[in-house]
Amino acid sequence: MPRFLHTADWQIGRWFSSFDPEDALPLAEARLAAVERLAALACTHEVDAVLVAGDVFDAQTVSERTIRRMFNAMAGFSGPWVLISGNHDAALAESVWTRARRLGAVPAHVHLALRPEPLLLEACRTAILPAPLSQRHTYGDSTAWFDAVETPAGWLRLGLAHGSVQGILAESMVDATNPIAPDRAARARLDYLALGDWHGGKRIEARCWYSGTPEPDRFKANDSGQALLVEIDAPGAEPRVQALRTAQFDWLELSASLRVASDLDGLLQRLEALPAHTVLSLRLEGQLALDLHQRLNAALAVLRGRLRHLSVEASALSLAPTDEDIAALQADGYLAEVIAELRELGAAGPAPSSEEPGEAEIAREALALLTATLAQRRRELSA
């Protein structure tokens, strides 16, 4: 019974430029480690071949060292690897693939299927029909040639392509143009069509799947961080597809509205339960009294040291000092006069409709900043 591991969108060499270097490097390294895990899974499940549906590299300009490290990461599985080019690493006349070949970096058991012609794997009686991209954007269906090509009788027919299945994925969900007919598997008499480009796992129909990227790289709940184990009993039999986890890091997006202590308690309880391998984007809104605001900041400081990455968007979360907060500052003299004036101005009603903040809003923000600064100063002096 032939068995295959379907994966795609490794994007080796990607640099997470929006992250601090301290976080970006481990995220980049995790993509290479994912290839090593794929090799281990291929061995564990004794697959006949690993099918890689494009975007192996993130760019044509990755370094020689990155090219060599990527192919070295595949050494753990000595069976066939079949790779096609995607939109990030299109098979141009001069490309990352031609550089890899010049470097002698491509192992003998790795097949670069960079031309639209059948690749025959005799050991498992399987014909691979590849649809490599030769440019970043195409407007014709690169899988159209599958329909007419003949393959040995009694052999499996597997398609390998990178692009967007038409009418299934919204334009905002795909990485680039490169259309694929939704009924290509049926029209081309394929036993299975392995797709790449969509970074999440997705079943198009029984014989057509996106595997998703093996290491998440976006804050989307789309079944990324996996590879697909595909088993096909015989030509014409419906494939059995099983998702296998490959991710090192979990990417998570959370939002919370904070106004009272119980809101904060609930959020902190949820955050404390997150595993250390989480990459978290947190959005906060609402208003908090000074003591709750300080408690939140202290908890976030601890969390930044524990999680793989934490980004916080809190522009919609304001500090609303209570009378007790202000009294506890024991401000006197000029500071007391400033605080009193800001409180008086801030107590005024909302400004008329305007794009610019009104005097009352500015006064409330100034009072919040002054209160937080004075409270911090008092803590430092008492430490």
Say yes or no to pLDDT of 34 above 50. yes
Which tokens go with 251? 């990417």
Min mean pLDDT across 227-231, 232-236, 346-350 is at 346-350
| The model's pTM | 0.85
Per-residue model confidence (pLDDT) at position 1: 84
CA distance 252 to 278: 7
Provide the pLDDT confidence category of residue 338 given band limits of 50, 70 and 90. Answer: low
pLDDT tens-digit profile of 141-181? 999 999 999 999 999 999 999 999 987 765 555 455 789 99
Q: Which distant-in-sequence residues (6+ apart) come within 8 Å of 290 by Cβ?
A: 319, 321, 322, 325, 371, 372, 375
CA distance 242 to 228: 6
Per-residue model confidence (pLDDT) at position 136: 82
Q: Which distant-in-sequence residues (6+ apart) come within 8 Å of 221 by Cβ?
A: none
CATH topology of domain 3-245: Purple Acid Phosphatase; chain A, domain 2 (3.60.21)
Per-residue model confidence (pLDDT) at position 340: 66
Per the model's pLDDT, the better-predicted residue between 287 and 369 turns out to be 287
Give the count of beta carbons closer than 10 Å to the beta carbon of residue 49.
25
pLDDT tens-digit profile of 180-200? 999 999 999 999 999 999 999
Per-residue model confidence (pLDDT) at position 158: 98
Per-residue model confidence (pLDDT) at position 13: 96
Domain boundaries, the chain: 3-245, 249-320, 322-383
Say yes or no to pLDDT of 22 above 80. yes
CA 51 to chain centre: 20
Per the model's pLDDT, the better-predicted residue between 375 and 216 turns out to be 216
Residue 369, SS3 per DSSP: helix
Say yes or no to pLDDT of 231 above 70. yes
Strands (E), 10-155: 49-52, 81-83, 110-112, 119-121, 126-131
Per-residue model confidence (pLDDT) at position 372: 64
Residue 152 sits at φ, ψ, to 5 deg, of: -55, 140
Q: What percent of the chain has pLDDT over 90?
A: 72
Provide the pLDDT confidence category of residue 354 given band limits of 50, 70 and 90. Answer: very low
Q: Which residues sit opposite 257 in a β-bridge?
A: 285
In 188-318, which ranges are continuous DSSP H helix? Answer: 261-272, 290-306
Q: Which distant-in-sequence residues (6+ apart) come within 8 Å of 295 by Cβ?
A: 264
